[in-house]
Every structure is written in C-alpha cells, then in structure tokens.
Amino acid sequence: MVSTVNVLAVLGVLLAIPHLYRIASFVWLYVLRPTTIKEYLHGPKGGAYAIVTGATDGIGKATAAELLRNGFNLILHGRNEAKMQKVVEELRARVPEKKDADVRYFMADAAQGGHDFEKMIEPFKDLHITLVYHNVGGGDTIGLRLDERTEENVHHMINKNALFPLFLNRALLPYLRRNAQSGPVLVQFFGSLAGDIAPPRLAVYAATKGFLESLTRGLDNDELFFDGPTGVRYSYLAVGAVNSENHEAPMAVSLSTPSSETYAQCIVKRTGCGRRRVAPYAVHAMMQYFLRDVLGDGVIDKASADEMRTLIARTRKGE
C-alpha cells in the first residue's frame, strides 16, 4: 500500500520540476550559453547590416557600438543630423579596428506621424540587413494624468513607441524575408517593465509596450507557422532601469541599474537566444520574475506608485 509519505514525496518532486527547470534555464541563458551574434553575419560580399533606431543616445548608441565591434555595418536612425554626425564620428573613434565598416543613417522624428516609410528605407533596401533593433521610444516623468495631457502629447507618445516601429517594420519586411534566404534574420522590439506593471501617470506609455509585446508574438507566429518558416524571427526585450543620458532624471549606476554600455553588451549576448521575450540583463530577469510571478498586484501597484512619486519629484526639481 502506498504510504502518505510516498505520495507527498512524489507530489513534492512534481511541484519542484517547474522551478528547477526555471533555474536551469536561467543558468543556461545568463551563464553558460555562448553568444550567437556571429550567426547573423551572413550574406553577400560587403557584409551584414544592423539597423538601430534611436541611436544618438543611451542604449541605442551603445548597442550600435557593440554591433560595430562584432563586425556589423550599421544603419542608424535619429532625428538630429548634426548630433548623428557626431555619433558616427564617436563610433569610429571608439571602434577603430572597424574603420572600414559602412555606417549610414537616416533622419526622422519618430514622435510625428505621416512618414513615408517606403521612401525612408529606399536607400537601404538593397543592403543585406539581418538585424533590426527598434530602440526608439520613451516615456516621461512629468507626472500628468491622461486628462491633463494634450492630445498632441498622447499622439506623440503612441507614434514614437508603437506606430513608428510598426510601420518601419512593415516597410522592411519584404527585404528581410529576402535576406533570410541566406541565414537567420532577427527583429527586436525594445519593451519596458512598465508594460508589465502599468505604473500610475504612465498608462499610455505602458500600453504601447504591451502593444509591442503582443505585436512581437503575432509577427513571429506569422513568419514561423503560417506560410513559413520564412527565416525572419521576432523578439521582445524586457528592459528595466538603465543609466542613460537621455533620461529626464538619470538613475545612478548600480547592480539593478546598469550603464548603457553594460546593457548593450547584454543585448548582443542574448541576441538569437530563441526566446520571444527576454530580459537581456540577468538582474532585471530576476526582478521581473518576482514582479510577475511572486508578488501580488496590490504590492506591485503600491510600490510602483511610490517609485513614480520619487521620479516625478526628481524631475520637477531638475535633478
């Protein structure tokens, strides 16, 4: 006769399996897995290209430098041409061993609507683009409720964080599928922890990140299962706090807030890991696990409200 102790032991093992798998998966991704970034260096003579939007500051600029260091030609996006030219010069100075790499750029204010995306990418459609990083975006910590924001402000938020990457991706897709005939192609949308917890005063911004995560899954399914696989894959990067000079109130570098350069290295290391959603930085992954799977909504909502009060106060003081 099976004893109660044996039944409980078996039940305990079964309950532990998902947690053991999660731990093993974490160790593999953040400790043991070798980078596969070089798999995207395929195509004809002249080399592979990576597109990085929002590349004149912070994570975007640091990611561009890391990709250049790994052998990619670059197509950068920004909205200020003088600033972009300085960034290109800075990138070449930071990565002198890649002085022969091709670095191009295009200008567009992502917050504005009405772009001709076909015309925007016309100069690059014959290039062998294998990686796309939709980094452009951002929220604010000015502390306004939805009804206190102007209609223009809301449109700008949605354009910059959701519609610009959506329509740029739409224009690029035929060429990405063509390029995928010689090797893998990956498109990555930059998300935010705000998309998971929807802090007060950031409702519109959080909603745009939720949109991007759902878009990632739908587009990846489309390319993988419907008439595919086409070779084009999608990933959503769950971004936590990062020290960046383009923030209104930059946070100090700490264990939970890496520098843009450290974060960019993590992005490149996780590129091609096969996950539709990935937190590039290991500490952020642990934090997001507790926020999503351990703590209750009530605790998270109160904590996020307290954090927003702090950030709004810092912004208003000009810190």
- Enter the tokens of residue 163: 């519609």
- Give me the pLDDT at residue 248, please: 55
Mean pLDDT of 259-274: 97
289 or 53, greater pLDDT: 53
For 128-138, write each residue's pLDDT tens digit.
Answer: 999 999 999 99
Taking all residues of the chain, what is their mean pLDDT, rounded to a whole number?
Answer: 91
Domains of the chain: 36-317 (3.40.50.720)
Q: Does residue 60 carry a pLDDT above 80?
A: yes
Q: Which residues contact 197 (CB under 8 A, 6 or more apart)?
A: 206, 291, 300, 301, 304
- Measured distance CA(158)–CA(208) in Å, rounded: 6
Q: Give the chain's largest Cα–Cα span.
A: 80
- Give me the pLDDT at residue 301, please: 84
Highest mean pLDDT among 17-31, 145-159, 280-294: 145-159
Residue 311: pLDDT band by 50, 70, 90 thresholds? confident
Q: Does residue 121 carry a pLDDT above 80?
A: yes
Q: Does residue 1 carry a pLDDT above 70?
A: no
Task: Tell me if the pTM is above 0.85.
Answer: yes
Phi and psi at residue 111, in whole multiples of 5°? -75, -15
- Could you tell me whether strands 232-237 and 103-107 are parallel, antiparallel, or unpaired per DSSP bridges? unpaired
Distances (CA, A) of 11 to 1, 5, 14, 40, 110: 17, 10, 5, 44, 53
- Give me the pLDDT at residue 44, please: 87
Q: Does residue 232 carry a pLDDT above 60?
A: yes
Ordered strands of the 232-237 beta sheet: 103-107, 73-78, 49-52, 129-134, 185-190, 232-237, 277-278
Q: Which residues contact 284 (CB under 8 A, 6 or more apart)?
A: 193, 238, 239, 240, 241, 256
- Give me the pLDDT at residue 247, please: 55
Phi and psi at residue 77, in whole multiples of 5°? -120, 140
- Give me the pLDDT at residue 2, please: 56
